[in-house]
Amino acid sequence: MPIVPRVFLTICLFAVALGAYAQSSPTAGDLTGTRPSEGGAADEITVRIGLLDIAEINDREQVYMADLFVEVKWQDPRLAVNGNAGAELRTFPLDAIWNPRLTVINSRGLDFLLPEVATVDRQGKVTARQRVAGPLAVDLDLRNFPFDTQRLPINVVSYQYSQSEIVFSEESELVARLDDLGGKGWTYEAVEPERSVYRLKEGGRGGSQISFAIMAERQAGYYVLTLALPMSLILFLAWMAHWLPVDVIPPRMGTATASVFSLIAFGVSFRLTLPKIAYLTDADRFVLYSTLLVLVSLAVVVVTIRWANTDRKAAAERLARQARQAFPFLYALIILLTFTT
């Protein structure tokens, strides 16, 4: 065959192959910049999150460590394939096709553990799957600590499209085996997702948002053993000073001052486990009221010692007896005030 016809035939075959590829494969120019329903109704996005684990809820840093499996689905008719030729599922890089541009806005460094790809079936249904793990920010409300319940959010937002352009479907959900989560000291409950608009400023162009959440209730038994019980023992130590004879000065003074130093050291070390917040928690109030009671007890000891050394021993014994009787009622008042103020 002559060279010219052979070259011409090669060019024709190449052109045919290129045209077939263009019809069966999306290109960045026509599929990444416009929505499937551009100019029409909003595109419906389904987000399903599988909560694999919550490893830890960090009170001081106000983050929780989560392990998530995320599945995002939408319909793109432009990716549909006519006929029976080709594979049932095709795989594309996520940035090579249109996608809803989702991000987790309370992420504090999530790691993406799977390739960023999407599978597309013959009808143009797109599915992107990803596993992410790392810290998520949570705005802890610690007023009722350690009897508090916290909302652990996963806020998914489209950073490019508003609610008039994409909507999250009713099939979006969060699923988890709540009894198997690793974060101990809490009981968990899933809540229904909420759809809203996320705006950085009032009146600004908002992005479509769906918020998933887990309600976590703190198990207070640990804090009863590590906070309430030691603090109560310190209070009883202060109470014991009033049972000693009023003229036995060194033991009474030593017992009273030891209770003060123990309470201060314990209260400071406990507060370091919590974030810097501008309000008192239930635990803070318990420590504060206990501190006031111990200081009053110390003042009573000092007065009775002074009276015992100035020929007022009967008055000192009467005041010590009154302190012994009042102490249990004041302790009960502390418990009441802790949970009612």
What is the topology classification, in CATH, of domain 31-218? Answer: Acetylcholine Binding Protein; Chain: A, (2.70.170)
List the chain residues with pLDDT less than 70.
Answer: 1-32, 83-86
Q: What pLDDT does 144 receive?
A: 92
CB atoms within 10 A of CB 324: 14
Q: What pLDDT does 33 receive?
A: 74
**What are 240's two structure tokens?**
């014991």
Residues 6+ apart with CB under 8 A from 244: 251, 252, 255
**Residue of 152, 167, 159 lying closest to 54 (CA atoms):** 152
Q: What pLDDT does 86 receive?
A: 62
Q: What pLDDT does 183 receive?
A: 84
Instruction: Decide if 215 contacts 191 (C-beta within 8 A).
Output: yes
Alpha-carbon distance 121 to 141, whole Å?
45
Alpha-carbon distance 41 to 151, whole Å?
33
Percentage helix, strand, coil for the chain under 3-state DSSP, each rounded to 5:
40, 30, 30
Q: What pLDDT does 276 receive?
A: 82
Residue extents of the structural domains in the chain: 31-218, 222-340
Alpha-carbon distance 281 to 262, whole Å?
21
CB atoms within 10 A of CB 279: 8
Run of H or E residues at 217: strand 207-218
**Residue of 156, 126, 197, 164 lying closest to 43 (CA atoms):** 164
Q: What angle do CA 240, 245, 251 make, to 5 degrees?
A: 60
Residues 6+ apart with CB under 8 A from 163: 42, 195, 197, 206, 208
Run of H or E residues at 13: helix 3-24
Estimate to the nearest angstrom the gap between the alpha carbon of 60 and the chain centroid: 12
Alpha-carbon distance 285 to 306, whole Å?
32
Q: What pLDDT does 31 receive?
A: 55
Q: What pLDDT does 271 receive?
A: 76
**Residue of 195, 185, 216, 213 lying closest to 51 (CA atoms):** 213
pLDDT digits (tens, 9 = 90+) for 36-75: 988 889 999 999 999 999 999 999 899 999 999 999 999 9
**Residue of 144, 29, 196, 157 lying closest to 97 (CA atoms):** 29
Instruction: Decide if 281 contacts 142 (C-beta within 8 A).
Output: yes
Q: What pLDDT does 39 receive?
A: 83
Q: What pLDDT does 28 receive?
A: 40
pTM for the model: 0.80
**CATH among 1.20.58.390, 3.90.1150.10, 1.10.10.10, 3.40.630.30 for 222-340:** 1.20.58.390
Alpha-carbon distance 212 to 214, whole Å?
7
